[in-house]
Amino acid sequence: MDTSENVNVHTRKWVLQAESEYRFELDPSATLAIKLVSGHAEIFGAELAEGKVYLFGQECKAAVFTWLGCAIEMSHPSVEYVSDETPMAVYANVHLALEQMRVRALAAVHGLPIPEDEGDDTAGADPPRVLVLGPENSGKTSVCKTLANYAVRAGQDWVPTYVNVDPSEGAWSVPGAISAAPITAPIQTSSPASALGTTATSAPNHVSSNALLPLSYWYGHAEMRRNPLLMDRLIRNLGENIRDRYEGDTAGRCSGLIVDTPASFAASSGTGGDHRLTMIKACVDTFQINVILVVGHEKLNVEMQRTYGNRMAVLKIAKSGGVVELDAAYRERIHKYQLHTYFYGHVIEPPVGITSRGYVQAGEQTPDQTMHLSPLSASVNFGDIVIYRIGEETMAPSSALPIGAARVVSEMQPLVVDPTLGGSGLYNAVLAILAPPNPDESERYDEEILDLPVVGYIAITALDVPNRRMTVLSPSPGSLTGKTAIVGSFEWQE
């Protein structure tokens, strides 16, 4: 194979030994190109194709791992090193155990003899429904991605459901949402702005061939403690919806699901009002969890063993030494990238000095498809959209209220926001547009909007109070008249 094409002062080659990984981190303006020259390699479980150039940007941090050894060629990242100490063998063993569960579940569905589980003849025929818990920067998302990718790669046509209940993650759309999506192709890593792959919600149809169709509910905030009751309800809505979808989808159900959680489920916030156990319980109940993986946290592992160990497998798995500590400023920048990517898409330019010939961006299937989106800026009447905020405007956590004080407005109450009032908080706000309510009026109920999934997002970029009009940025054409929207605490910044 001719590898000389990109070998110049701007690139060099690394030879990786078996079971080692090349880790890199990018500065805000840096981009990176990596090409697999020979051997086999993967990024969080997604295989690299030989000879294809993968681009990374927007402060991406990741690792190219190889089971048997490989040679890669790349430009210069901001930070790089190779490590042969990885927990990948453990993750692969977990995958094998989950795979056996899938095979047994499918055999049971087809009335075939159920293969025995090595060493465990009491094993049932339930597909794996895995909850991944761990503190901040333990690598939960990376573990979930790896396990989902290994399932997809197993060649059994599994379609695992990836559930993200971390509202700060952004997942397939914008931060503030919790979502689930069936994974049909390995999740590529190229930018933290689309950490779990490309979504179909903002991309026009012609570029959504590799996109996912997630089911999302809008929580509206990055932190669970902001409104735990709402979070609990949305998690349960997500679970119920997935169960409904599974009814006619045997392959999906047998493939199981993997639930990625926020760090706040693992560590108490410190200032009272510790809702994390309630959240874990909501996940266990609604997703019918039968395996809990605790990433690198002894105390949480013991706690989970005590609470759930008699009903399901609770496993502690090691944290990878490669996981990068992400600080608050970084997370804020990522939220900005995610919002921007939702509306405008993103194109990662090849690094300086590297030919763009034949380059494709990770996650895309054909080289001529870029993710450059053109959102629309439209002027709408105040009366066209009904905007709600859930709960009190300045919501202090219940634990912060004086003893004996009751909330005047319930945390779950949808309140109509009047754009004409000063301090409406709508200028530069990100809004979730909800699916229509039940067409049958008799089936409607007060808090129905809490249970409606999201169909898309808009941002309010200007408010003209005297003329009762506002300018909104929307990813696609289509009338907003008569739509219901919810505002959260995310701000749009151009």
Ligand X SMILES: Nc1ncnc2c1ncn2[C@@H]1O[C@H](COP(=O)(O)OP(=O)(O)OP(=O)(O)O)[C@@H](O)[C@H]1O
Residue ranges at the known binding site for ATP: 21, 61, 137-142
CB of 363 to ligand X, least distance (A): 14
Measured from the CB atom, the residue of 32 and 486 that comes closer to ligand X is 32
Among residue numbers 152 through 191, which ones bind ligand X (CB under 6 A)? none
What are 463's two structure tokens? Answer: 């408010």
CB of 164 to ligand X, least distance (A): 10
Q: Please pick, from the candidates 165, 291, 292, 323, the single residue that binds ligand X as defined by CB under 6 A.
A: 323
Measured from the CB atom, the residue of 223 and 411 that comes closer to ligand X is 223
For the annotated binding site, the residues are 21, 61, 137-142
Angle in degrees, CA 244, 248, 252, rounded to 5: 85
First to last CA, the chain: 45
Measured from the CB atom, the residue of 137 and 489 that comes closer to ligand X is 137
Question: In Å, how far are 241, 378, 461, 471, 474 from 381, measured between CA atoms?
Answer: 33, 10, 14, 9, 15
Q: Please pick, from the candidates 6, 11, 16, 23, the single residue that binds ligand X as defined by CB under 6 A.
A: 23
What are 24's two structure tokens? Answer: 């890199």
Q: Please pick, from the candidates 191, 194, 320, 361, the single residue that binds ligand X as defined by CB under 6 A.
A: 320
Instruction: Tell me which stretch binds ligand X (CB under 6 A): 120-128, 140-148, 172-180, 306-314.
Output: 140-148
Rounded Cα–Cα distance for residues 52 and 364 (Å): 12
Rounded Cα–Cα distance for residues 163 and 179 (Å): 6
Q: Which helix (H) or strand (E) holds 260?
A: strand 257-260
Q: Does 140 help bind ligand X (rule: CB under 6 A)? A: yes
Angle in degrees, CA 340, 78, 48, rounded to 5: 75
Measured from the CB atom, the residue of 262 and 419 that comes closer to ligand X is 262
Q: Please pick, from the candidates 61, 102, 221, 253, the single residue that binds ligand X as defined by CB under 6 A.
A: 61
Rounded Cα–Cα distance for residues 6 and 453 (Å): 46
Residues 6+ apart with CB under 8 A from 21: 63, 64, 65, 66, 82, 83, 84, 86, 88, 322
Counting every residue written for the chain, the total comes to 494
CA pseudo-torsion sign 239, 242, 248, 250? negative
Measured from the CB atom, the residue of 289 and 449 that comes closer to ligand X is 289
Rounded Cα–Cα distance for residues 464 and 470 (Å): 6
| Spacing of C-alpha 195 from chain mean position | 6
Measured from the CB atom, the residue of 123 and 324 that comes closer to ligand X is 324
Backbone angles phi, psi at 55, to 5 degrees: -110, 145
CB of 245 to ligand X, least distance (A): 25
Measured from the CB atom, the residue of 151 and 207 that comes closer to ligand X is 151
Measured from the CB atom, the residue of 320 and 338 that comes closer to ligand X is 320
Q: Please pick, from the candidates 66, 138, 286, 338, the single residue that binds ligand X as defined by CB under 6 A.
A: 138
Measured from the CB atom, the residue of 14 and 427 that comes closer to ligand X is 14
Measured from the CB atom, the residue of 192 and 220 that comes closer to ligand X is 192
CB of 78 to ligand X, least distance (A): 12
Rounded Cα–Cα distance for residues 457 and 480 (Å): 11
Rounded Cα–Cα distance for residues 57 and 78 (Å): 11
CB of 21 to ligand X, least distance (A): 6
Among residue numbers 254 through 273, which ones bind ligand X (CB under 6 A)? 262-263
Calculate the CA dihedral of residues 368, 370, 372, 374 and round it to 10 degrees: 50
CB of 37 to ligand X, least distance (A): 20
Instruction: Tell me which stretch binds ligand X (CB under 6 A): 134-142, 340-348, 357-365, 477-485.
Output: 134-142
Q: Which residue has the tokens 């047998």?
A: 254
Neighbours of 333 (CB within 10 A): 16
Backbone angles phi, psi at 457, to 5 degrees: -130, 150
- Find out whether 148 and 160 touch, Cβ atoms under 8 Å: yes
- Closest residue to ligand X in the complex (CB): 322
Q: Does 90 help bind ligand X (rule: CB under 6 A)? A: no
Q: Does 275 help bind ligand X (rule: CB under 6 A)? A: no
Among residue numbers 279 through 318, which ones bind ligand X (CB under 6 A)? none
Q: Please pick, from the candidates 322, 345, 453, 475, the single residue that binds ligand X as defined by CB under 6 A.
A: 322
Rounded Cα–Cα distance for residues 236 and 241 (Å): 9
132 strand-pairing partners: 260, 293
Q: Please pick, from the candidates 20, 66, 141, 361, the single residue that binds ligand X as defined by CB under 6 A.
A: 141
What are 32's two structure tokens? Answer: 């990176």
Among residue numbers 326 through 345, which ones bind ligand X (CB under 6 A)? 326
CB of 202 to ligand X, least distance (A): 22
Cα within 13 Å of Cα(462), Cβ side: 9
CB of 366 to ligand X, least distance (A): 26
Q: Does 142 help bind ligand X (rule: CB under 6 A)? A: yes
CB of 362 to ligand X, least distance (A): 13
CB of 454 to ligand X, least distance (A): 21
Size of the site for ligand X (CB under 6 A): 21
Using CB under 6 A as the criterion, which residues of the chain lie in contact with ligand X when the complex forms?
Answer: 21, 23, 61-63, 134, 136-142, 192, 262-263, 320, 322-324, 326
